Every structure is written in structure tokens, then in C-alpha cells.
Structure 1
Amino acid sequence: MTLTSQEWIYYSVRICVTIIVFILLVHYVSDITAQLLQKPARSLAILGFMPFVYYIFDYMTSKYTLLLYSGSKVVGEFLGFVLCITYLMFLFLYFKEYEANKEAEQRNQIMEMKRIQSEKELDAIRRSEHAVSILRHDMRHFLLSISSYIENNDNEKALEYINEVIHTSDKTVTQRYCKNEIINLILSSHESELEHNYIHFEYSIQLPETLAVSDVDMTAILSNALENAIHAVLKLPEARREIKLDMRLNEEKLLILLKNTYADKPEFMNGLPYTSEAGHGFGTKSIWYVAEKLNGSCQFSVTDTYFILRVIL
């Protein structure tokens, strides 16, 4: 209107701009708006607070007063104040939802770890049962061989053969590290990996049959800790691969101490070990999350020789 002083040009441009804006909104904003409208009413109220207040302010100051176009400082100060309040409310809502999403993500990761651990435990049980079935199938041959040695008065070979059968049968037994069954299953599921990679594993576990910590939470802590330790020591020569585990109860508190040697000294961020390797770094966060959830504590530290994890539950 200022450039042409022609009303038909003014209205033509206005109509064209309105149509173009409408097409852009339908194409780029409608889907997002539809998703936004599915949010809780409280979220929508906060998001609509700023436009609503601005509309009321604009209507009141232009309809009944000349304040909006007077150049008064009140206009700038008021809108800035409302904008800051709206921004703070939005941040509060955003971080609350963010924390809820992170907690749900951590729970999902823990459940996934439990699923993977259960698969490992079942695989270990299947291997043990398969070995037992083979041993049972071959027992008749073992007894016939021993009987043959005894009949030929070859007692030394008979004893040697008996010892070999005993050694073979011992391999089919699931290792018992303590009285607690879930601890035995978790550690047994890592046995083959420890042996296959020539990792020296020392343990001292003094626990009762039942613990106050659930099987899911214990799996999340101990499995993650062991997997991180195994991953760290594999970078070392076989002679230096070492993991030490100490678990005990002290004044009704569960104490877990795990040490492992390392090749690369870990970096820390906010008290947690940090790694840039893809697919790693979730284990320590899961341990910290479970410890916090159970009103316990966990501490990661490093010496010249060992990476150390301490957990109190």
C-alpha cells in the first residue's frame, strides 16, 4: 500500500501471501501440529501461554488504548517479561519429560541386558545338559573299558581311566561360586568367555541364598561390570589379563568390588568412565542408574594397575 497506493494491489498481494503461507503450513507444519495436539493438556497450555497473553495484550492495548503503538517502555518490558516466564515454564516441562524419557530408556536398556543375560544363562545350561547327555550315553562304554582293565589286572590304567571320567564329568557341573543362585548363573554364563580368552579370574563371594536386590537389578550391575572388565582386559597380552571380584554383606549392605587391569587409561566425565567407541558406554550408565534407583552408590576409580568399581546397595 505504501509503495503503490493501490488497494487492489494491496489486497491481491495479501491474498497471495495468505495462500502461500497456508500451503507451507499444510505441507510442513500440519503433521507436527497434529502430533503436538496429542500431548497432555498441561504441555499445550504452556506452549499456548505466550501467544494467548500476546493476543490479549494486543487486543486490549489497541482496542481500548493507544499504548501498543505509543512507544512506551511498558510494551517492551511486558512482552519480554512474558517471554521469559514462558521460556522458563517450557524449560521446566522439557527437562521433566527429558528425565522421564531417559529413565524409561535406562529401564529398557536394563531389561535388554537381562534378556541377553538370560540367553547366555540358557546357553550355558544347554551346553551343560548336552555334555551330561553325552556322558550318560558313553557311560556304558566307560564301564566296559574299566571292567576290561580290571579283568586284565591292569589296575593303573583302570585308575587312570576312572580319573579321566571323573575329570570329564566335573566339566559338566555348573560352577557354584556362592549360595546365591543368580550370582552363580551370571558368573557361569561368563565362564567360557573367561577361559577362552585366558583371563585370570579371582573371586571372593560370601553371600546368602537370598538378597534384597532383585535379579533384574543384580543382572544389570554384575553383567555390565563383568562385560566392561572383559572388554578392557582383552586389549592386554594374555599374561596381564586379570579380573578380581569381591562380593559380601556388611551391616546388611551389599558390597561389590571389581578390579580389572587395562591397556588404555580411561577418561572420566561427571564421575563416569567415558568412551568414544561405538556401542560402548551404556554399561557404566546402567550401573550408576540402578545404584541410584536403589538408594545406593557406585564409584569408578583408576590406579596405575587397576580400574576399580565399587558399589554399595
Structure 2
Amino acid sequence: MMYPAEYLCLASLQEHLRAPRKTYAIGASAITLMGLAGAAVCCMLDMETNFLLIPLLIISFWLLRWRTDREVSISQTMFLFSVSAVMMSVCTLLAVVLNAEAELDNAQPVFLPSTSVICLTLAVILSTIFRFTAVRWSRWLLQEYHGEAFWESAWPLPALYAAFLVFCMPKEIGIILMNRIRIIAVLAVSISLLGVFLLLYEMYRVAKEYARSSQLDRENQLLAVESRRYMELRSYLEQTRHLRHDFRQHLHVISGLTEAGQLDELKSYLSQYESELSDTRPTLCANAAVDALAGHYDYEARRQGIQIEWKLELPKLLPLPEADLCTILGNLLENALHASQKLPPEERQIKVLARMLSPAMMGLMVENRYDGVLKKQGGVLRSTKHDGQGIGLVSVETAVHRYHGNLTVETGGNVFRANVLLNL
């Protein structure tokens, strides 16, 4: 029965396994060895197999973590492991209930072969159903949803339920055959199994709706910035049109002042005319969306007296959705502006660097000075704006993980530096 259990665990973690085929082979070999060793121990010591249940689960979980990438947290792994344990517990309990009449005269501490065949058949059927439903949901949750608090609160539910199903295993088979207990037991276990599937589906549905809502919020934020940039461009174009229209009049004035020899008035007039042309903002990036975002934060930084240095060496067409990059850059810049506001004006400084390291890799760095105060809990940065973890960094981490990238934070000398590496 542990072979289907192995498949249930590994199928959901398929994209996060180290050498998947080798992992499946290692798992099958380990299960075979543990089964044979466990059978030998139980036969020699005349003990029930349940005594080996906890050690086998610990070894199996250790093997699963060993072959899983560290991108998947312990809580996520524990959740999938517990769901598989629930499935196998359901199969075992159903097999005993369905084959209770045959097991009634069984005096041995292990099940009859017929019960084992029923259990294995149920496990195979359940694994097949799981493959075309819950595996897809679980893979999406692992790929797109990285809220650790969610997984930490989710995994105890199936773990406790699996333990409850093991506890419900009848010690006296005859009890199942009394009155309608057998029918009630089958219905109760079947309904509980349906409940597990519904739990997985609801988690998938709610998380997907949350991800969709977050994506829409990011796109709306980007559209708002682009709209603001568009209005700025319209204003610049309109201003340029007026300047071109009035240029002839300026030439007449310049010519008249020159002919009259009024050099001081000419210098004053030219200085005033030059100031009218100095308001246009230079292009910060070849990509229009990133340029719009940078233009917005450049304006905000100047308005708050923050010196900001840009080096955005990005192509006109990005190899990833513009909304994702703007989400990462926008949240880092917002945090940098917030941290800079706490410093004296002469110490406010931000540096931004973004460039393609290769056709399939992008690097991004945002560096700013801060007051040296950081809130940490359990090694995790907490927000200085409100209680709890900062939403901005969580959003950045979610977007970075989507591209199997890395986010590293360096602090020292009152300088906060966020480095992002994206695999495209």
C-alpha cells in the first residue's frame, strides 16, 4: 500500500524533485526494503505492524525531504505527505470494513490476503482519481502560492485526520457487523474522503482567486502609472507645440535686442526662455512600462528631496510580462522611498540597477540608505509601517519564485540592498 502512497506524494512534487525518475526508483527500493525488514521484525517478535507505523512514516518523510528541492518548505511537504497518509488510512479502514466477514475468524495480527488485495485496489483507484484532480491543484498551489503562514496552518488538518482514522481502526471486527454499523462506517469514511477532496479543491479555488485578484491589483497599479506617464507625455507634446508656435516671436525679440545692442536684456531673455525648455524628463529606460514606472518614482523622489540614481539597461521588449517586473521594481522602490523619508535630507539616496545578465537571466538591484532600524522575527523582515510582515517584500518574493529566481537582502553600514535574480 505504500507504493500508491509514494506516487501520491511524488506526483504533486514532480516539478520540485531532484532527478524524478531516480527519486521514484529510490522510493520504491526504500519501500521494498522497509516492507521486508518490517515483516521480518513483526514475524520474529510476534508484534503488530502498527508498532512500526511511526518509524516508517518518519523515515519516509525524511526520504521525501531529501529528494525535494529546498524551494518547497517543510510545511508544504508535510501537507502533501499528510494528504497521502489520509488517502491510505481511508483505503485501509474501508478494506477492513468491506471484508469484515472474512476477517471475523482471522486470529493473526495481520490482515488476510483478501483484505490486502481490496486495500491495494482501493488505493490504485484512489491514486488514479487523485492524479487527474488533486495533483493538478497541488502543483498549482506549490507553484503560485507561497504564503508560509497558510501552509503552516493547513498541514495539521490532514495529519490529525489521518491519525484519527488510524485510531478508528476496529480492534474487534465483530463490532462492524452489528446492526447498521458497517453501512454507517462505509458512508462515514466515504464522506470524509469526499471532504478531503473538497478541502483541496477549496484551497486551490481560494488561492487561485487570491492570486488573480493580486494580479489584477498589480496590473491596475501599472495601468495607473502608465496612464499618468501618458498624460505627462501629452502635456510635454502640447508644451512643445506651443514653443514651436511661439518660436518665431522669440526670434523677433532676440533679433531686436541684438540690433539695439541691449546685451543684458538679451541674456535675461535667453535665460528665461531656456528655463521653459528644461522641464522635460529624460527617458530612463527603453521599455515603455518600466520607463513609466521609473518616471513616477523619479518624480516622487525629487519631490521628497531624495537623490535617486538610475541605470536601467533593459531592452524595449522584455522576455517576461511587464506587470511582473514592475511589481518587483515598484515594491522595492516604494520601500526605499519610505525608508529614505526617515533620514535627514542630505543622507537620502537611492540607487537602481537593472540589466540583462544573459538572454535568459535578469539582474535587479535597489539600494538605499536607512536609519539602521530593522524589525526581524525568526529571521524574517517585518514591516516598519505596520504590525506583521511587509506586504511589499512578500509580493516581491512571490513574483521572484514564479521565475525560479532569488531574492537576497544585504544590510550593513545603514545601507539596505535588495538583489533580485530572475531566470527567464
How high is the TM-score relative to the length of structure 1?
0.64
1:225-273 CA distance string (max 9 Å, x none)? 2222222212222112111111122123211100112236343568764
Tell me the SS of whatever aligns to 1:125.
helix
Distance across 1 between alignment mates of 2:274 and 2:379: 49
Tell me the SS of whatever aligns to 1:190.
helix
Confirm or deny that 1:112 pairs with 2:185.
no
Confirm or deny that 1:217 pairs with 2:330.
no
Among 167, 190, 199, which residue is 2:297 paired with?
190
Distance across 2 between alignment mates of 1:135 and 1:89: 68
Confirm or deny that 1:246 pairs with 2:353.
yes
Aligned to 2:339: 232
In the superposition, relative to structure 1, how do residues 306 and 193 fare at CA in structure 2: closer, same or farther (>3 Å)?
A: same
For residues 263-274 of structure 1, the aligned pairs below 5 Å read 263=371, 265-268=373-376, 273-274=381-382
Counterpart AA for 1:231: H
Identity %: 20
Among 178, 182, 191, which residue is 1:65 paired with?
178
Among 197, 210, 215, which residue is 1:102 paired with?
210
Distance across 2 between alignment mates of 1:277 and 1:131: 42
Distance across 2 between alignment mates of 1:139 and 1:200: 34
Counterpart AA for 1:113: Q
Aligned to 2:19: none
Tell me the SS of whatever aligns to 2:284.
coil
For residues 252-267 of structure 1, the aligned pairs below 5 Å read 252=359, 253-263=361-371, 265-267=373-375
Shift in Å, 1:186: 2.0
Counterpart AA for 1:101: E
In the superposition, relative to structure 1, how do residues 269 and 226 fare at CA in structure 2: closer, same or farther (>3 Å)?
A: same
In the superposition, relative to structure 1, how do residues 179 and 270 fare at CA in structure 2: closer, same or farther (>3 Å)?
A: farther
Aligned to 1:121: 229
Task: Kindly indicate whether the alpha-carbon contact (under 8 Å) linking 1:256 and 1:311 is maintained by their aligned counterparts in 2.
Answer: yes
Distance across 1 between alignment mates of 2:246 and 2:326: 36
1:127-173 CA distance string (max 9 Å, x none)? 4235334534543443233122211123454355335423431323x
Distance across 2 between alignment mates of 1:260 and 1:100: 34
Distance across 2 between alignment mates of 1:273 and 1:302: 11
1:43-64 CA distance string (max 9 Å, x none)? 9xxxxxxxxxxxxxxxxx9997
Provide structure 2 residue ranges, at least 5 long, that are not aligned to the other structure: 1-132, 135-173
Task: Kindly indicate whether the alpha-carbon contact (under 8 Å) linking 1:175 and 1:184 is maintained by their aligned counterparts in 2.
Answer: no
Among 240, 254, 257, which residue is 1:149 paired with?
257
Task: Kindly indicate whether the alpha-carbon contact (under 8 Å) linking 1:221 and 1:286 is maintained by their aligned counterparts in 2.
Answer: yes
For residues 20-59 of structure 1, the aligned pairs below 5 Å read none
Task: Kindly indicate whether the alpha-carbon contact (under 8 Å) linking 2:372 and 2:414 is maintained by their aligned counterparts in 1.
Answer: no
Aligned to 1:295: 404
Tell me the SS of whatever aligns to 2:367.
strand
Tell me the SS of whatever aligns to 1:205.
strand
1:52-87 CA distance string (max 9 Å, x none)? xxxxxxxxx99973474xxxxx99998997787566
1:176-196 CA distance string (max 9 Å, x none)? 224333332222223322221
In the superposition, relative to structure 1, how do residues 76 and 240 fare at CA in structure 2: closer, same or farther (>3 Å)?
A: farther
Distance across 2 between alignment mates of 1:90 and 1:269: 34
Counterpart AA for 2:348: R
Task: Kindly indicate whether the alpha-carbon contact (under 8 Å) linking 2:371 and 2:414 is maintained by their aligned counterparts in 1.
Answer: no
Task: Kindly indicate whether the alpha-carbon contact (under 8 Å) linking 1:121 and 1:189 is maintained by their aligned counterparts in 2.
Answer: yes
In the superposition, relative to structure 1, how do residues 269 and 301 fare at CA in structure 2: closer, same or farther (>3 Å)?
A: farther
Distance across 1 between alignment mates of 2:289 and 2:230: 12
Aligned to 1:46: none
Task: Kindly indicate whether the alpha-carbon contact (under 8 Å) linking 1:262 and 1:305 is maintained by their aligned counterparts in 2.
Answer: yes
Distance across 2 between alignment mates of 1:267 and 1:75: 57
Task: Kindly indicate whether the alpha-carbon contact (under 8 Å) linking 2:349 and 2:368 is maintained by their aligned counterparts in 1.
Answer: yes
Distance across 1 between alignment mates of 2:228 and 2:402: 25
Aligned to 1:168: 276
Distance across 2 between alignment mates of 1:187 and 1:63: 70
Counterpart AA for 1:192: Y
Counterpart AA for 1:220: T
In the superposition, relative to structure 1, how do residues 117 and 270 fare at CA in structure 2: closer, same or farther (>3 Å)?
A: farther
Task: Kindly indicate whether the alpha-carbon contact (under 8 Å) linking 1:106 and 1:289 is maintained by their aligned counterparts in 2.
Answer: no
